Amino acid sequence: MSELQVQREVDEFVASTPKSKALQDEAAQYLPGGSSRGTAYFAPYPTFVDHAKGHHVYDVDGNGYLDFMINATTHVMGHAHPDIVAALQEQAERGNSFSGPTEAQVRLAKNLCERVPSLETVRFTNSGTEGTMMAIRGARAFTGKHRIAKFEGGYHGSHEYVSVSVRPPADALGPDATTPVPEHPGQPPSVSDDVITMPFNDLEACERIIRENKDELACVIMEAVSSSFGYLPADVDFLRGIREITEELGIVLIFDEVQSFRVSAGGAQEMMGVIPDMTTFGKIIGGGMPVGAWGGRRDIMALFDPTEGAPLAHAGTFNANPMTMVAGEVVMNHLTPEVYERMNALGETLRAKLRAVFDELEVPAQVTGVASLFGIHFTDEEIVDYRSTLTGDGDMTKALFTGLLNEGILIQTGGAGALNVLTTDAEVDALVDGVRKVVTRVRR
Ligand SMILES: Cc1ncc(COP(=O)(O)O)c(C=O)c1O
């Protein structure tokens, strides 16, 4: 794979997106790099979206893309689903946010508590970032301890205490995963003192680290299905082991299900049969509106209970706003067991077909993922943790992403993506054919 081949794909993209280029130039005058969101930017510039409908998103130049990015897995019912649009229209006419609670928040909270095994009570936020921040705050207050443990390569939003060893460059890595690497310059050294990092899927190392730090460790925060590793499910024995040690030592186990909640009605915890103390949410539960949530054990969540004096304050002007609540409710009601079954079976088909294409083309690649989620890594090394993801060929991933744009297909820049309820065999085959074409073209 040479830079030249990546450049050819980029040149083709530039030729078909002049209006996006003009908007990027204008945007760059007012927004740093023309952007307000790290994951929405890609070089040389992102396509500016005009509108989206169903499985497709359309840019300002009139290009249509079959969308497997779906706003980072959010649009599980596709874009602008008529039921969501109707619920939002109706709510907008009745007022879009109030200082008082609404019935809609009770309905969505009830729905979530009934379907998620760990959820006794829940509170809403406006982002997954706030959800993980509040879950950690709750764990610290409940245990009276200050340290937290996360996994090397794990992403839990952008607040300070999870901005450690998220995407550490290869040359910053210590001999093992336990060296915390600050995500940005100027991070207070106290953060690296308070955050312990651990290697994913390595129970022996984790058990040693957790036991060594047990007297100061408030919580372990992790994804049971790791988004950053291409939706890699943790080894079930590893997950069970982490549950057992944390339970034994009175350390709060937090599952970040901001992305993985879409794998089954009860999320990854239900699918894998391992129940944490606390869970965080985002993405699909807001029907495309800004959202986050955290919840879990009643005794821990009681720390936020205003009728009990609420030792922990949690305000937020738009928390549980009714636009988000009604849109989320439509999604939750739509996702019946049959819908999951169909969508997840198509995910299985997709992953098998992608593996077959890479075999056919004799390209070293790993296809990860579970249920309706997939990830592609150009390496012959098995993906088990952050370090194994670093063995992937980054130029090839960039060529695939840009080449697929040129084929009218949108995936995540890192080579991962998600299906939605509108996906059929036709969209799966379109993606598989697109991958075959791009890989064949860029390797030539
Ligand atoms: C696993 C995980 N946790 C937390 C977050 C943060 O959510 P938000 O972007 O809504 O702040 C994300 C966002 O992608 C995520 O994937």
**pLDDT tens digits, one per residue of 49-66:** 999 999 999 999 999 999
Residues 244-271: pLDDT tens digits? 999 999 999 999 999 999 999 999 999 9
pLDDT of residue 174: 86
Total-model pTM: 0.97
Bridge-partner residues for 292, per DSSP?
Answer: 125
Is residue 371 a contact partner of residue 263, using CB atoms and an 8 Å limit?
yes
Shared domain for 165 and 260, answered yes or no, is yes
- H/E stretch holding 259 reads none
Shared domain for 97 and 173, answered yes or no, is yes
Last residue of a domain, one of 302, 334, 366: 334
**What CATH number has the domain bearing residue 218?**
3.40.640.10
Shared domain for 313 and 180, answered yes or no, is yes
pLDDT of residue 2: 63
Q: Which domain holds residue 313?
A: 82-334
Bridge-partner residues for 233, per DSSP?
Answer: 225
Query: Cα dist. 184→129, 169, 192 in Å?
Result: 17, 12, 12
Tokens representing 76 are 């599980």
Shared domain for 292 and 356, answered yes or no, is no
Last residue of a domain, one of 292, 317, 334: 334
Last residue of a domain, one of 334, 363, 388: 334
Shared domain for 353 and 431, answered yes or no, is yes
At 389, is the pLDDT very low, low, confident or very high (cuts 50, 70, 90)?
very high
Q: Which residue, judged by its Cα, is nearest atom 13 of ligand 1? A: 157
Is residue 133 a contact partner of residue 141, using CB atoms and an 8 Å limit?
no
Question: Cα separation of 245 and 193, whole Å?
Answer: 22
Residues 62-107: pLDDT tens digits? 999 999 999 999 999 999 999 999 999 999 999 999 999 999 999 9
Shared domain for 184 and 323, answered yes or no, is yes
Shared domain for 269 and 407, answered yes or no, is no
Tokens representing 97 are 């946010």
pLDDT of residue 203: 98
Shared domain for 189 and 279, answered yes or no, is yes
415 Cβ inside 6 Å of ligand 1 = no
- H/E stretch holding 47 reads none
- Per DSSP, the three-state class of 240 is helix
**What CATH number has the domain bearing residue 11?**
3.90.1150.10
From the alpha carbon of 129, which atom of ligand 1 is closest?
11
Shared domain for 90 and 234, answered yes or no, is yes
Shared domain for 301 and 342, answered yes or no, is no
- Per DSSP, the three-state class of 65 is strand
From the alpha carbon of 157, which atom of ligand 1 is closest?
6
Query: What type of residue sits at position 90?
Result: E
Q: Strand 292-296 to strand 278-281: parallel, antiparallel, or no bridges (unpaired)?
A: antiparallel
Residues 149-163: pLDDT tens digits? 999 999 999 999 999
Question: Cα separation of 222 and 240, whole Å?
Answer: 13
155 Cβ inside 6 Å of ligand 1 = yes
Nearest to 221, CA basis, from 250, 249, 191, 251: 251
Query: What type of residue sits at position 239?
Result: L
157 Cβ inside 6 Å of ligand 1 = yes
Number of domains in the chain: 2
